[in-house]
């Protein structure tokens, strides 16, 4: 074999060996907010400290993207439990509809927003091409306002999965925003499927939960003991974990209170202060949807399948920052590089 040909063969072999050993970097969406719910700009790649299985994960680049054209599907729970009881039900449903309307108002005009209602199945869908006025008109309609029209058991996880499939092929920044009380039909307990489906598609899940399970009577604050306090709703905890693991953010409003994540009474109160809290929470969700970092992350070459990993934001000294809210997908697709050809 001629020396030049031999050298080329050896070089090609080295390139193939290298490509077999290296895992190509993959993009990962990460949200970093300050205490006021605003994005933190100008973080270098060195500010993101990542690991998997006790080993360092390389973050080779980080860039903040403010993308007003992100695609979001809003899922509004119209199951029977969203109607609550008596006046509480009227106010509870008002808050759910208000959260949906607020999102339509705060999302940039370029954003692709679709709205679906669901109970046992997806019931009504307004595509982004229908325009937001059609969605708002329905939310303001007498049909929508009547809490008595809420029926059936909500299959939350099935609705999320069906929506994720409808978004294929997924685009960077795709999100699902679910507004619910987290009372899920036990026949459809597919939370594990949701977690994997979101991870494989790179879709983030966000939630606004009207959580009745933390109701406290007689002005007892959350954490107090009352014989008539309902048992915790396990699906509220499951949904919160699904949101976290997808890289999204979740907010909860408890009955009786007009503060997010607090409860000190028997029923929901639809007053000005509550409306302000709903608006501010939904605004923060929209900010997290449209402002995010794209990291270039490299896993080790023997990583296969979905990989658990951990991420921290650190300062210039390498110390973890405690003044930030960071959300990121809990699992990453492993190395998918092709094996070297024979």
pLDDT, residue 16, reads 38
- For 144, list phi and psi in degrees, rounded to 5: -70, -35
Residue 228 to residue 231: CA distance in whole angstroms: 9
pLDDT, residue 85, reads 59
Residue 337 to residue 185: CA distance in whole angstroms: 40
The DSSP string of 67-128 is: -TT-EEEEEEE-SGGGG-SHHHHHHHHHHHHHHHHHHHHHS-TTSEEEEEEESSSEEEEE-G
pLDDT, residue 336, reads 56
pLDDT at 253 exceeding the cut of 90 = no
Pick the range with the lowest mean pLDDT from 181-195, 199-213, 274-288.
181-195
| Mean per-residue pLDDT, 222-229 | 38
Identify whether the C-beta of residue 198 lies closer than 8 Å to the C-beta of residue 332: no
SS3 label, residue 53: coil
Beta-strand pair 204-210/250-253: parallel
Of 159, 169, 211, 213, nearest to 190 by C-alpha is: 159
Q: What is the pLDDT of residues 153-187, one digit of tens each?
A: 999 999 999 999 999 998 889 999 999 999 998 87
pLDDT, residue 38, reads 92
Length of the chain in residues, anyone? 342
pLDDT, residue 99, reads 96
Residue 299 to residue 256: CA distance in whole angstroms: 47
Domains in the chain, CATH or no CATH each: 71-291 (3.40.50.410)
Residue 296 to residue 201: CA distance in whole angstroms: 17
Q: CB neighbours (10 Å) of residue 165?
A: 10
Distances (CA, A) of 35 to 40, 84, 145: 10, 33, 35
Local confidence band at 34 (pLDDT 50, 70, 90 cut-offs): very high
Residue 298 to residue 304: CA distance in whole angstroms: 12
Helices then strands, each counted (H, E), the chain: 8, 14
Computed over its alpha carbons, how large is the radius of gyration of the chain? Answer: 23
pLDDT, residue 230, reads 54
Scanning the structure block, which residue is given the tokens 């009504």? Answer: 124
pLDDT at 75 exceeding the cut of 70 = yes
Share of the chain above pLDDT 90, in %: 54
Identify whether the C-beta of residue 103 lies closer than 8 Å to the C-beta of residue 74: yes
Angle (deg, nearest 10), helices 86-106 and 132-139: 170
Q: What is the mean pLDDT of the chain?
A: 82
Structure tokens that stand for 308 in this block: 């658990």
Local confidence band at 46 (pLDDT 50, 70, 90 cut-offs): very high
- Bridge partners (DSSP) of residue 209 are 180, 252
Whole-model pTM: value is 0.83
Identify whether the C-beta of residue 191 lies closer than 8 Å to the C-beta of residue 181: no
pLDDT, residue 124, reads 94
Torsion, CA 281, CA 286, CA 292, CA 297, rounded to 10 = 80
Local confidence band at 307 (pLDDT 50, 70, 90 cut-offs): confident
């Amino acid at each position: 074999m001629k020396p030049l040909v031999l050298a080329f063969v050896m070089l090609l072999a080295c390139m193939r060996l290298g490509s077999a050993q290296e895992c190509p970097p993959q993009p990962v969406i990460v949200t970093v907010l300050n205490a006021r719910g605003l994005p933190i700009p100008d973080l270098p790649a060195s500010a993101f400290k990542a690991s998997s299985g006790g080993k360092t994960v390389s973050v080779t680049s980080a860039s903040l993207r403010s993308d007003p054209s992100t695609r979001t599907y809003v899922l509004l729970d119209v199951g029977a439990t969203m109607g609550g009881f008596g006046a509480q039900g009227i106010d509870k449903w008002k808050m759910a509809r208000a959260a949906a309307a607020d999102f339509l108002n705060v999302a940039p005009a370029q954003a692709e927003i679709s709205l679906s209602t669901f109970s046992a199945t997806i019931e009504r869908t307004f595509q982004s091409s229908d325009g937001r006025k059609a969605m708002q008109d329905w939310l303001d309609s007498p049909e929508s306002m009547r809490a008595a029209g809420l029926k059936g058991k909500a299959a939350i996880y099935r609705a999320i999965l069906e929506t994720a499939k409808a978004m294929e092929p997924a685009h960077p920044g795709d999100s699902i925003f679910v507004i619910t009380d987290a009372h899920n039909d036990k026949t459809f307990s597919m939370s594990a499927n949701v977690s994997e489906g979101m991870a494989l598609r790179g879709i983030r899940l966000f939630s606004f939960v009207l959580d009745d399970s933390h109701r406290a009577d007689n002005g007892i604050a959350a954490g107090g003991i009352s014989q008539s306090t309902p048992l915790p709703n396990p699906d509220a905890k499951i949904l919160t974990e699904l949101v976290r693991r997808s890289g999204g953010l979740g907010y909860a409003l408890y009955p009786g209170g007009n503060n997010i994540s607090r409860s000190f009474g028997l029923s929901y109160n639809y007053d000005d202060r509550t409306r302000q809290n709903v608006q501010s929470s939904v605004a923060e969700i929209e900010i997290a949807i449209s402002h995010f970092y794209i990291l270039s992350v490299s896993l080790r070459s023997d990583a296969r399948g979905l990989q658990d990993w951990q991420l921290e934001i650190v300062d210039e000294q390498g110390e973890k920052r405690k003044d930030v809210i960071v959300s990121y997908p809990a699992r990453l697709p492993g190395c998918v590089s092709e094996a070297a050809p024979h």
